Structure formats: C-alpha cells, structure tokens
C-alpha cells in the first residue's frame, strides 16, 4: 500500500474506515436495500442511516420498523439522529448500542421546517449552548464514534464556521461531514468545496466533504479544493451505485475490478433487495424514490421515472421497468 493510501485510512476510536468514502444519510433512500446495493458494488468505507427522530427511536421495533431494517453485511453503519433534546439523545444512544451501531451521527444540517420548529437540525447550530448540551450528553453516554453533519452557515463567514468546528471538536466529536452549501442553498446550486479548504485546519479531527459529487473527477476536485480527509456521496450513489467503486479504484488505488455494467441488472437487483427486506406496501414508494435518481442519467430516463411514478403495484412497476430497459438500453 502506498503512503498516500495508508494516510487516507480514517481511524475513529479504533474503528478503521477505508476507503474514506461514505454513503450519505438520505430520507427514503439510505435504507438497507440501497446500502446493500452500493456496498456490493464496492468502494464504500462507511454507511449512514437516514435521519431518525431520537425521541421516537426507543419505541421503534428493529424487526418491524422499515427505518431500522439492516442486513448483517451493512458495516460499519452510523445511525443518524435528529433532536435538540439531551434526554432524548441519551435514550436513543442507549438503544443504538442494542442495534450494534458502529457510530452515532447528529444531524446539524437539516433545514426542514418541522426540525427548525423543534430547534433541531440546522437550527441547533444557531443555539450553541443547547448544541453543546446535546453533544456533551451523547459523548458521556457512549464510547462509539460520534460524528456530525453540518452546512457552511447562513452566510459565508470563515470565522463563524471555524468557531463551530472548534466547538464540535471540543465536545468530543470524532468526525465532521460538511455539506458544502450555505444553509438556505438548494441542492442544484454548485457546491462550495473551496470554502471548506479555508477552515480545514481549524480542527484536527477528520472532515468528509459532501455535496455535488457525481463523478471521479468531482471527487478528485472536491478533495483537492477542500483538503478533506474523505468524501460523502448522496445522490451520485443513487444515480450510479457503482460510483464509489470507481472513486475507490481511481483515487484510493483499491483493486476493484472494472467490469461491464448492466443497468437493468443493477435496477432489478435493487428491486430484489427491496422485496427481501420490506413488507409489500413499503416497497413501491421506495422504488419510486430510487427511480427518480437512477433514471436521471438515461437519455429517456424521464419516461422510466414517470412510468414508475404512476405505477400502482410493484409488479406493474417491474413490468414497466423491464419494458423501458428492453427498448432503451
Ligand atoms: C432525498 C434526500 C434526503 C435527504 N435526507 C437527509 C437526511 O436524512 N439527513 C441528512 O443529514 N441529510 C439528508 N440529505 C442531504 C444529503 O445527505 C446530502 O447532504 C445532499 O444530498 C448533498 O449531497 P449529494 O450532492 O452527494 O447528494 C438528503 C438529501 C436528499 C436528496
């Protein structure tokens, strides 16, 4: 292994992460079926669940809740919590030990109004005393790695962003993911990887760069511009479940075979994973959400997306998808 590759291994409280490539937490997308699909393609070093309400988690049943379904191969898996309440995070973290979590992530970047109303997600970064209380309680009740996911702030202000990162490190956070967009910016806006470069040296803990990585070239540029220690990929890994494998091979020198790809095979593998893991009434919604992204790169992808969107059963969706791939690929 070259020195560069050795250096790119992340070590979080004894947990080794290599390659330093994570699948992002995404509501409705980062469930067991997608995590397994991306992991089977290769090149993933860290998985996240979608955000889970910390207050609800202790009442959820791991065997029935679709948010908690997990297969044994999904490792290492960090569970992402969202809350502004220190009691809730403690109870949720205790539950996560029962679930054999490898780490706990606190969502500090969600701008959704329902989270804002509760002072959670992004809003918690605007209330430093409460944010520190929550993190302190979490740190005190677990020896698992603790990570957070943040955005750049409400305006471009290196000083504020550095102060936030310092605070996070001081509260015992082991890993920070930075979604390189300002608080109010939409996902279609170009990410600001260079801004992360300006604050990278403010902390000694590893930083993952996130936002707008859809190719090996994007991955390379985002790492160069941000100086980050690794990557987190969201929509790019849904559009191309093999993207992390390509990045791991091209950037981190992993010996992952570059094999001919079959778009239809990958799509139906995902369907099978859905069918194996979820009750029938939970499958179609998840297939619709996946297809919105997976269909995007195809020339006539909008036909696939709209025909799956209007399907009323999983069997109908499968027939329509088979038709599409037979005609277009
Ligand atoms: C459908 C969807 C759901 C998301 N849900 C979450 C979430 O639960 N928690 C979170 O921290 N970020 C969430 N995000 C944000 C992503 O984790 C990521 O920061 C964002 O998509 C930018 O990365 P990308 O350009 O690689 O997709 C979500 C994004 C999308 C598109």
Is 2's pLDDT higher than 90? no
Any idea what the CATH number is for the domain that residue 121 is in?
Answer: 3.20.20.70
Co-location of 289 and 194 in the same domain: no
Q: CB of 175 within 8 A of CB of 205?
A: yes
Cα 5 to ligand 1 centroid, rounded to whole Å = 27
Tell me the average pLDDT across 43-53. Answer: 98
Domain boundary among 217, 252, 287: 252
Q: How confident is the model at residue 43 (pLDDT cuts 50, 70, 90)?
A: very high
Co-location of 156 and 231 in the same domain: yes
| Number of structural domains the chain divides into | 2
Cα 210 to ligand 1 centroid, rounded to whole Å = 9
Cα 26 to ligand 1 centroid, rounded to whole Å = 5
Structure tokens at 271: 């369907």
Q: CB of 30 within 8 A of CB of 241?
A: no
Cis? peptide before 19, omega within 30° of 0 = yes
The more confident residue out of 260 and 18 is 18
Co-location of 321 and 208 in the same domain: no
Which residue's alpha carbon is nearest to atom 4 within ligand 1?
A: 26
Mean of the per-residue pLDDT values of the chain: 95
Cα 80 to ligand 1 centroid, rounded to whole Å = 12
Tell me the average pLDDT across 40-69. Answer: 94
End-to-end CA distance of the chain: 38
Domain boundary among 252, 286, 319: 252
Model confidence over 229-265: pLDDT tens digits?
Answer: 999 999 999 999 999 999 999 999 999 988 778 999 9
In angstroms, the CA 311 to CA 51 distance is 27
Structure tokens at 145: 């790695």
CB atoms near residue 315 (< 10 Å): 11
Cα 177 to ligand 1 centroid, rounded to whole Å = 12
pLDDT at 4: 52
CA 295 to chain centre: 20
pLDDT at 7: 64
Which residue's alpha carbon is nearest to atom 7 within ligand 1?
A: 26
Is 5's pLDDT higher than 60? no
Stated pTM of the model: 0.97
In angstroms, the CA 304 to CA 114 distance is 32
pLDDT at 64: 83
Cα 326 to ligand 1 centroid, rounded to whole Å = 32
Co-location of 302 and 174 in the same domain: no
Q: Alpha-carbon Rg of the chain, whole angstroms?
A: 19
pLDDT at 214: 98
Whether the CB of 109 sits within 6 Å of ligand 1: yes
Co-location of 282 and 158 in the same domain: no
Tell me the average pLDDT across 175-179. Answer: 98
Range of the domain at 169: 3-252
Cite the DSSP H helix spans in the chain: 3-7, 32-41, 86-98, 113-117, 128-141, 158-170, 193-199, 216-226, 235-239, 243-252, 263-277, 280-294, 301-309, 314-328
Whether the CB of 251 sits within 6 Å of ligand 1: no
Percent of the chain with pLDDT over 90: 94
Is 19's pLDDT higher than 50? yes
Model confidence over 78-125: pLDDT tens digits?
Answer: 999 999 999 999 999 999 999 999 999 999 999 999 999 999 999 999
Cis? peptide before 129, omega within 30° of 0 = no
Co-location of 236 and 276 in the same domain: no
pLDDT at 258: 82
Q: How confident is the model at residue 1 (pLDDT cuts 50, 70, 90)?
A: very low
Cα 114 to ligand 1 centroid, rounded to whole Å = 16
Whether the CB of 145 sits within 6 Å of ligand 1: no
Model confidence over 120-132: pLDDT tens digits?
Answer: 999 999 999 999 9
Structure tokens at 299: 């020339």
DSSP symbols for 195-239: HHHHHGGG-SS-EEEES---SHHHHHHHHHHH--SEEEESHHHHH
Residue of 21, 22, 26 with the most ligand 1 atoms within 8 Å of its CB, for mutation: 26
CB atoms near residue 204 (< 10 Å): 6
Co-location of 161 and 298 in the same domain: no
Residue of 79, 112, 179, 214 with the most ligand 1 atoms within 8 Å of its CB, for mutation: 179
Is 182's pLDDT higher than 80? yes
Element (H, E) at 21: strand 21-23
pLDDT at 259: 75
Burial 206-226 (b: 16+ CB within 10 A, else e): bbbbbbbbbeeebbebbbebb
Residue 109 CA: nearest ligand 1 atom is: 11
pLDDT at 328: 86
Tell me the average pLDDT across 282-302. Answer: 97
């Amino acid at each position: 292994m070259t020195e560069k590759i050795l250096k790119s291994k992340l070590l979080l409280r004894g947990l080794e992460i290599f390659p330093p490539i994570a699948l992002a937490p995404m509501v409705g997308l980062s469930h067991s079926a997608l995590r397994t699909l991306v992991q089977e393609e290769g090149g993933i070093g860290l998985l996240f669940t979608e955000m889970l309400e910390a207050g609800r988690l202790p009442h959820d049943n791991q065997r029935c809740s679709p948010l908690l379904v997990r297969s044994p191969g999904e490792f290492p898996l960090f569970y992402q919590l969202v809350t502004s309440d220190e009691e809730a995070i403690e109870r949720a973290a205790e539950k996560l030990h029962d679930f054999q979590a490898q780490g706990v992530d606190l969502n500090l970047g969600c701008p959704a109004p329902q989270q804002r109303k509760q002072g959670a997600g992004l809003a918690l970064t605007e209330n430093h005393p409460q944010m520190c209380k929550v993190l302190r309680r979490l740190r005190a009740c677990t020896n698992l790695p603790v990570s957070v996911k943040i955005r750049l702030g409400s305006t471009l202000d290196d000083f504020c962003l550095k102060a936030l990162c310092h605070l996070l490190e001081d509260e015992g956070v082991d890993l920070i993911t930075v979604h390189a967009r300002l608080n109010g910016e939409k996902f279609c806006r170009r990410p600001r990887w260079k801004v992360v470069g300006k604050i990278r040296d403010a902390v000694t803990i590893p930083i993952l760069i996130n936002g707008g990585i859809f190719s090996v070239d994007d991955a390379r540029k985002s790492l160069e511009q941000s100086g980050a220690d690794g990557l987190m990929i969201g929509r790019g890994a849904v559009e191309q479940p093999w993207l992390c494998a390509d990045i791991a091979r091209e950037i981190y020198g992993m010996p992952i075979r570059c094999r001919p790809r079959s778009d239809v095979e990958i799509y139906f593998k995902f369907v099978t994973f859905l069918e194996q893991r979820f009750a029938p009434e939970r499958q179609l919604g998840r297939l619709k959400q996946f297809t919105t992204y997976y269909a995007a790169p195809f020339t006539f992808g909008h036909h696939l997306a709209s025909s799956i969107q209007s399907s009323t059963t999983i069997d109908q969706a499968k027939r329509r998808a088979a038709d599409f791939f037979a005609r277009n690929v």
